[in-house]
Structure 1
Amino acid sequence: MTPDILDRSPTADCSGSPGRSSQSIRERIRSAILIALAIIIGAVGWSGFVLALPVAMLFPALWAMSPSRLVAAMVSAGYFLAASRGLPQGVANFYTVDLWPGLLLWLAASASFVIVHAMLWTRRPGKAQSEGGRAVRYLAAMIVMALPPFGIAGWAQPITAAGVLFPGWGWWGLLAIAAGLAMLTSRYWPAAAVALIGFWFWSAASWTAPTLPEGWKGVDLEQGQNLGRDASLQHHRDLIATVLSSADSSTRVIVFPESALGFWTPTVERVWRDALRDHDITVIAGAAVLDGSGYDNVLAAISSQAAEILYRERMPVPGSMWQPWWPWTGGARAHFFANPVVEAGGNRIAPLICYEQLVVWPALQSMLHSPDIIVTTGNGWWTSDTSIVAIQQASTIAWARLFGLPLVSAFNR
């Protein structure tokens, strides 16, 4: 009787289910900590403060530490949703509805980021796996999320922090941060983290904002949703008065926000050219060019001598502007890889309108063509009570510092 009783006792096998249960609890706690940390770094890294961008670089380490593909997906979702947390409120503001449509769009936008990172996740290397394999998988996820089609919703890319850590390094800085992010997915992540933090502190101690190019000036407006919707002659006269009051003897080019001119028509062109007749100023401003099948979101350049469409937006906002799934609605066209650099005011400029400042490939495509100036515009009235505009500006500041370029920006709120 005694041996049989001992054999049936729960302590007879120390490697039995109680041990496995304890291990499972530890794994669940660890997973919960990883997800919580991902949410924190997504919120802090993408808070709109440019010097906080390097916090986002911790994401690859958390992704690599995930004990399962499901946890890796949840870590990715937590990071992305925290980074893009302003989207539900922004959608509610834009459509004047409650938060539910924005919440659904928020979740849909995260899908590509989560799917790509979950599919490319792999377990911690064992005897049959190399450290390099996991680093290559993360770099592949980063590249996939930087380029269309997945890159269309490729916000919150940690590589954007290159401009904070390696200002002026250009493409070498991009390679350096890519190598650092890859190292953070390996067993050597503590050493990589220490090195990157060292660059971060060094850069923060000597940080300077991008310069404003000589003779250029960006003018912010506070006209809310009225900008671009008021087609009255008085509206254009008010904008012209703002141009003339903002210019001084050294000003050659003034940049106005996205949508400032409303619909681009021969009448609008004539009004502006007549007003600038006695002034040696070029105005670059946002407008919309309509035709029978939709419209282009553009930047127009106007002076007393000429007026032209300078730039057609490569990536309008998906959903509210660009709607390829409903081509009959006449939405904005996406010109993807067209006109990455244009000529204005005697300089080669890299234009980035609104949404293009949140994703990676428009900026990097423009940098391939060696621009002289980065020009950013936006119409952010719908982002009130969110950090979206601040994140856009932090991203463009980082790109300008990475490549050592002057930056001109103009936003409407």
Structure 2
Amino acid sequence: MRHDKVRTTLMIGASIVAGTLAWSGYVLLLPVAFTFPVLWAVAPTRLAAAFVAAGYFLAASRGLPQGVAAFYSSDLWPGLLLWLCASTGFVGVHAALWTRCEPNRPFRYFTAALLMAMPPFGITGWAHPITAAGVLFPGWGWWGLVAATAGLMGLVTRMWPAVAIVLAGFWIGSAATWDEPKLPESWQGVDLEMGASLGRDASIGRHRDLIATVTDRASGGARTVVLPESSLGFWTPTVERLWVKALQGTDATVIAGAAVVDASGYDSVLIALSGDGARVIYRERMPVPGSMWQPWRSVLGESGGARAHLFANPVVIVADGRIAPLICYEQLIVWPVLQSMLKEPDVVVAVGNGWWTKGTSIAAIQRASTQAWARLFAKPLVLSFNT
């Protein structure tokens, strides 16, 4: 009994280390997440497996309490509560599917991984080990996803040491030749440092500053300029006229984040602007649960909150190119990017407004995850974040 307790304690500690290292924001460390299925498989009891899952998930998402506190200008308690609530899906799924029967274990783990990649559990399916497929098998596309899945299933069998050695070989080879995803020609992503004021300062002066930034990049040869999530604030006819008029006489196209508000709530969107006009090209499939997406409001007969367009518009056409858009939270979960890749986009465009993540690894994790997916499918990547 004492031996089991010591063993379980060591395994929980190892899962915490794995979650911390894999999700530190360094893309080449993502394969450390493959430690988790090994620890889950060798757990002596279902309860131990649950604690291993909790240690991994809570370590991976450790920046959430501080980020929520910054977002709401409050103490840590709301963030801690959300942190623990978000872990229940991951822990519950892995605890329920744990088994002592080795022949069934790979299929049980595959089921757990699939559940955490798709709604409803996939809505909080952060820190999914499959994200590391792009580091282990860059450029392999769907075959790389299959190979990574097979590797995860092999890691929960008795042959896990041999599987781990093979995966480590791919990891070392990839790290030795790693290249970040290419920036597509004539595209430019703009990173801003405007803090919480971005999207909240609706003054003409702020819009003129952003327009000046865009025209400066366009004069340098960029024809498609991407601005972060929420850059345009609330999307109104006045804002539209201001930007379209400013872009007339140029061949620049701007893709920028905004919010479209109506009586029932709002959509977090991407707008394509040029001298010829403006249009909404993308509505966010999965806003941040809790702070943005609040589905209980409709049940209670209340309005407000962001709408989730779960499986809508995975690929949109801009400037004669097919883009896979990912706004903020969508970069942390699995199904939005895979749904977009089914449509064979030309480029991945990832935007975020992460001022509230200052002092945490959340924004770095978003970048690392998106880079890994772009490398897996050999797609050019445009990033644009506000801090």
TM-score, normalised on structure 1? 0.92
Instruction: Map 1:62-77; keep pairs closer than 5 Å.
Output: 62-77=39-54
Residue of structure 2 in register with 1:307 after alignment: 278
Query: Which of 355, 365, 373 is residue 391 of structure 1 equivalent to?
Result: 365
Residue of structure 1 in register with 2:325 after alignment: 351
Query: Structure 1, residues 249-301: CA drift from partner, whole Å, max 9, x if none?
Result: 53210000000000001110000010011111000000000111000000000
Q: Check whether the contact 1:161–1:398 (CA below 8 A) recurs between aligned residues.
A: yes
- The CA distance in 2 between the partners of 1:198 and 1:329, in whole Å, is 53
Query: Which of 109, 117, 120 is residue 86 of structure 2 equivalent to?
Result: 109
- The CA distance in 2 between the partners of 1:60 and 1:190, in whole Å, is 12
Aligned AA for 1:110? S
Q: Check whether the contact 1:76–1:113 (CA below 8 A) recurs between aligned residues.
A: yes
Residue of structure 2 in register with 1:341 after alignment: 315
Residue of structure 1 in register with 2:267 after alignment: 296
Q: Check whether the contact 2:23–2:127 (CA below 8 A) recurs between aligned residues.
A: yes
Q: Check whether the contact 1:287–1:298 (CA below 8 A) recurs between aligned residues.
A: yes
SS, match of residue 326 in structure 1: helix
Instruction: Please tell me whether residue 331 in structure 1 is matched to residue 302 in structure 2.
Output: no
- The CA distance in 1 between the partners of 2:343 and 2:215, in whole Å, is 33
Instruction: Please tell me whether residue 119 in structure 1 is matched to residue 93 in structure 2.
Output: no
Residue of structure 1 in register with 2:62 after alignment: 85
Give the superposition deviation at 1:345: 1.4
Give the superposition deviation at 1:123: 1.1
- The CA distance in 2 between the partners of 1:312 and 1:140, in whole Å, is 30
Q: Check whether the contact 1:258–1:285 (CA below 8 A) recurs between aligned residues.
A: yes
- The CA distance in 2 between the partners of 1:124 and 1:54, in whole Å, is 26
Residue of structure 2 in register with 1:12 after alignment: none
Query: Which of 7, 14, 20 is residue 43 of structure 1 equivalent to?
Result: 20
Query: Which of 172, 175, 186 is residue 143 of structure 2 equivalent to?
Result: 172
- The CA distance in 1 between the partners of 2:40 and 2:6, in whole Å, is 16
Query: Structure 1, residues 85-142: CA drift from partner, whole Å, max 9, x if none?
Result: 00000000000011111101100000000000000000153xxxx2xx1000000000
Query: Structure 1, residues 366-389: CA drift from partner, whole Å, max 9, x if none?
Result: 000000000000000000110000
Aligned AA for 2:166? A
SS, match of residue 178 in structure 2: coil
SS, match of residue 130 in structure 2: helix
Give the superposition deviation at 1:329: 4.1
Query: Which of 336, 349, 364 is residue 362 of structure 1 equivalent to?
Result: 336
Instruction: Please tell me whether residue 233 in structure 1 is matched to residue 204 in structure 2.
Output: yes
Residue of structure 2 in register with 1:382 after alignment: 356
Instruction: Map 1:256-271; keep pairs closer than 5 Å.
Output: 256-271=227-242
Query: Which of 157, 161, 167 is residue 196 of structure 1 equivalent to?
Result: 167
- The CA distance in 2 between the partners of 1:35 and 1:237, in whole Å, is 52
User: Structure 2 unaligned runs (5+)?
Assistant: none
- The CA distance in 2 between the partners of 1:248 and 1:303, in whole Å, is 15
Q: Check whether the contact 1:252–1:345 (CA below 8 A) recurs between aligned residues.
A: no
- The CA distance in 1 between the partners of 2:98 and 2:253, in whole Å, is 51
- The CA distance in 2 between the partners of 1:402 and 1:219, in whole Å, is 24
Q: Check whether the contact 1:64–1:124 (CA below 8 A) recurs between aligned residues.
A: no
Q: Check whether the contact 1:216–1:254 (CA below 8 A) recurs between aligned residues.
A: yes
Instruction: Map 1:128-277; keep pairs closer than 5 Å.
Output: 130=103, 133-248=104-219, 250-277=221-248
- The CA distance in 1 between the partners of 2:207 and 2:222, in whole Å, is 20
Aligned length: 384
Aligned AA for 1:252? R
Percent identical: 65
Query: Structure 1, residues 185-239: CA drift from partner, whole Å, max 9, x if none?
Result: 0000000000000000000000000000011000000000000001111111111
- The CA distance in 2 between the partners of 1:69 and 1:409, in whole Å, is 41
Q: Check whether the contact 2:270–2:280 (CA below 8 A) recurs between aligned residues.
A: yes
Aligned AA for 1:46? W
TM-score, normalised on structure 2? 0.98
Instruction: Please tell me whether residue 284 in structure 1 is matched to residue 261 in structure 2.
Output: no
- The CA distance in 1 between the partners of 2:21 and 2:207, in whole Å, is 40
Aligned AA for 2:281? L
Residue of structure 1 in register with 2:33 after alignment: 56
- The CA distance in 1 between the partners of 2:217 and 2:143, in whole Å, is 38
Residue of structure 2 in register with 1:320 after alignment: 291
- The CA distance in 2 between the partners of 1:305 and 1:383, in whole Å, is 36
- The CA distance in 1 between the partners of 2:70 and 2:303, in whole Å, is 21
Aligned AA for 1:382? W
Q: Check whether the contact 2:198–2:230 (CA below 8 A) recurs between aligned residues.
A: yes
Give the superposition deviation at 1:247: 2.0
SS, match of residue 296 in structure 2: coil
- The CA distance in 2 between the partners of 1:391 and 1:76, in whole Å, is 19
- The CA distance in 2 between the partners of 1:247 and 1:57, in whole Å, is 43
- The CA distance in 1 between the partners of 2:370 and 2:303, in whole Å, is 31
Instruction: Please tell me whether residue 403 in structure 1 is matched to residue 377 in structure 2.
Output: yes
Note closer, same or farther for the CA distance 1:329–1:384 as it changes in structure 2 (3 Å cut): farther
Aligned AA for 2:232? L
